[in-house]
Amino acid sequence: MPAFVADLLFRDATPADVDAIVALVESAYRGDSSRAGWTTEADFLDGRRTGSDEVLEQIVRPRSRMLLGERDSEGARQMLACAHVADEDGAGYFGMFSVRPGVQNAGIGKAMLCEAERIAREEWNLLAMRMTVIDIRDELIAWYERRGYRRTGIIKPFPYGDARFGRPKRADLRFEVLEKSL
């Protein structure tokens, strides 16, 4: 494991982390800053990716965590990644996954995903992890498939008109459910 990833520290977010989480998620998915990484959705979505209301809701909800990946840097902790992991319908749910654009492709995302799976499997005794991914994200879906996720064929509509999910730039967006046995 690269030293950069070996130094990654995990912790659960608190309400004091909400603003930093929102900023991280927005930087990874929206606007020009997101184009520095490969997870950008800026070509097909504008507007917000998440908000403080949604993040706080996930932090305080039972059997739900906002997992943070941090690194010590000059005596202070630097947030590099976050992910929401929860127990939903008897399976783990993985979402709001974000890695700071400037450090994507360094193994941080893989480490975060492994820790989220560990929580679902070992702490909550769940047998599967699920997520939804915008189905035109072929490169992202392939990344998850290399980590054992499979396309279920379950398609969910994109919530057009709900500003909490952004402002679509195209009319063909929808979610696909991916799943992995734990």
Distance separating alpha carbons of residues 14 and 56, to the nearest angstrom: 8
Task: Classify each residue of 147-158 as buried b or exposed e, where b means 16 or more C-beta atoms within 10 Å of its C-beta.
Answer: eebeeeeeeeeb
Q: Which of 120, 28, 17, 93 lies closest to 60, judged by CA?
A: 17
Cα–Cα distances in Å, from 118 out to 2, 79, 92, 95, 181?
20, 20, 10, 15, 12
Q: What superfamily in CATH does domain 3-130 come from?
A: Gcn5-related N-acetyltransferase (GNAT) (3.40.630.30)
Entry field: residues in the chain: 182
Predicted TM-score (pTM) of the model is: 0.91
* pLDDT score for 4: 54
Distance separating alpha carbons of residues 24 and 82, to the nearest angstrom: 8
pLDDT tens, residue order, the chain (182 aa): 454 566 899 999 999 999 999 999 988 887 777 777 777 777 888 888 888 999 999 999 999 999 999 998 877 889 999 999 999 999 999 999 999 988 888 899 999 999 999 999 999 999 999 999 999 999 999 999 999 999 999 999 999 988 888 888 899 999 999 999 99
- Within 39-98, residue ranges assigned H as helices are 52-60
For residue 179, the cross-strand partners are 130, 150
Strands 174-181 and 150-157: antiparallel
Distance separating alpha carbons of residues 45 and 48, to the nearest angstrom: 9
Whether the Cβ atoms of residue 84 and residue 99 lie closer than 8 Å to each other: no
What are the sequence ranges of the domains in the chain? 3-130
